[in-house]
Structures are given as structure tokens and as C-alpha cells.
Amino acid sequence: MTNQTVTDILDQMANTEPSGWLQKAQWRQENKEWLDRSAKIAIRILSQLRNNKKTGKNPANQKELADLMGASPQYINKIVKGNENLTLETIARLEAILQSPLLDDKNSETTIDFLGSSTVSYVAPPQMPVQGFDFQTMQVQIPPTKNPTDTTPNDSKYAYATAA
């Protein structure tokens, strides 16, 4: 019996071929935009399938969706993993079968009557909440000011400026 060190044992167990994790990570970074959108679509599909299952509608699972799409269950599985680069045709077919929009977010779409004759639609970017700003009316809400004599302490070490 030979005495083997831990490194010898690990060297025997280790795979000699590179794993390719760096290339996969770079690919994910290069394709981040469409991968993010594909993941959002996948979440909406799974959410709609869950709702259909609760309400007894079809399709209620991935197999039924695959049958209605005329696609393999494996392809639907790739879609709901969020790693499939979907065509507009595929998205439109999914929307028709699920009877639910996959790309449109009705909460962020705004329609404006432009000069009374035509309509312009745009999708508003996600908004960060800004304290004192109302995005619905596009106005700044300034809180009422307090009377400076009500809040001024009697300590002479503090100096307060008041607005005229």
C-alpha cells in the first residue's frame, strides 16, 4: 500500500479538462439584456399557468402549453427557464394561447392625447420613489413649514436662521 498525500488524491479526482465557467459567465454578461427579458417572460408564463390551474382553465401546465403550441415539452421547459432567445412570433403565439400579454406592462404604459388629434403612447421607465414628488400629477409637494419660534430651543449654543 502506498502513502498518498491529500493533493495526490485530489489530483486523481480532479477533471483534467477546464470547466468553461469563465466563458459561460462572459456569455451571460454579454447577453444580459435579452436574458433578463426572457426571464421576465418566463415568470409571466409560469404565473399564468399557475392562475390557469387554480381557475381550471387550459393550459394549466407546461405539457398542455406544449401541445397547444405544437412544440416539444423540452422547448417549453427551456422557455420557462428564461434561457431561450424568443422570436416575436413565438411570443405572439404564447400570448394568444395564454390570453395574457407577456411583453406589455399595462401599469407602465401611458397614452397621451397629443394636440387633440392624434394619440402618442410611450412606456414610462421604472421610477424610483422621490420624496415630495407626485409622478401622477408631475408636481412637487412641499410640506408646510413650521413656525420657527415653536421649534427654537432656549439653548444659546444653537443658532437658527429663519427665511424671510
Within 8 A by CB and 6+ apart from 107, the residues are none
Given the C-alpha cell 419660534, which residue does it identify? 149
- Note the pLDDT tens digit of each residue in 33-46: 999 999 999 999 99
Is 113 strand, coil or helix?
strand
Give the architecture-level CATH label for domain 22-98.
Orthogonal Bundle (1.10)
pLDDT for 164 beyond 50: no
Residue range(s) of every CATH 1.10.260.40 domain in the chain: 22-98
Is 159 strand, coil or helix?
coil
DSSP assignment of 1-19 equals: -----HHHHHHHHS-SS--
pLDDT for 48 beyond 90: yes
| Per-residue b or e along 106-138, where b marks 16 or more CB atoms closer than 10 Å to that residue's CB | eeeeeeeeeeeeeeeeeeeeeeeeeeeeeeeee
- Note the pLDDT tens digit of each residue in 50-62: 999 999 999 999 9
DSSP code of residue 145: P
Residue 45's pLDDT is 96
pTM of the model: 0.56
Say if CB 111 and CB 99 are below 8 A apart.
no
